[in-house]
Structure 1
Amino acid sequence: METVYTATVSNVGGRDGDVKSLDGILELDVRKPVEMHGEGKAANPEMLFAAAYSSCYNSALMTVASRRKIILPEHAVEVSISLNKDGNSMFLAGKIVVKAPGMDHDELQQLAETAHTVCPYSKAVKGNMEMKIEVMV
Structure 2
Amino acid sequence: MTKIEKVAYTGNTHTTVNHDPALQRGDYPVVDIQLSTPGGENYEFKAVEPHPTAEQLFAGAWSACYITAVGIAASLKKVTLPPDISVDIQMDAGQTGPGWFLNAGFTVRLPGLNQEVAEAIAHSAHQMCLYSSAVRGNVEVDLNVVTV
Gap regions ≥5 residues in structure 1:
1-39
Q: Give the TM-score of the pair, scaled to structure 2.
A: 0.63
* 2:68 aligned with 1:59: yes
Using the alignment, how far apart are the partners of 1:76 and 1:41 within structure 2? 21
CA distance in 2, matches of 1:126, 1:78: 19
Question: Identical aligned pairs, as a percentage?
Answer: 34
SS of equivalent to 2:137: coil
Amino acid in structure 1 at the alignment position of 2:68:
S
- Which runs of structure 2 are paired with 1:34-49 in the superposition (5 Å)? 41-49=50-58
Partner of 2:126: 116
Question: Any unmatched runs of 5+ in structure 2?
Answer: 1-48
Aligned residue identity for 1:113: H
Q: Distance in 1 between matches of 2:128 and 2:50?
A: 34
Higher helix fraction (1 or 2): 1
Equivalent runs, 1:1-137 vs 2, <5 Å: 41-74=50-83, 75-137=85-147
Q: In structure 2, how many angstroms separate the alpha carbons of the residues matched to 1:100 and 1:129?
A: 24
TM-score, normalising length: structure 1: 0.68
Larger % of strand: which? 2
Larger Rg: 1
Runs of 4+ that moved beyond 6 A: none
Return the structure number with greater relative CO, CA threshold 8 A, min gap 6. Answer: 2
Deviation at 1:88, TM superposition (A): 2.6
Aligned partner letter, 2:132: S
Q: How many residues align?
A: 98
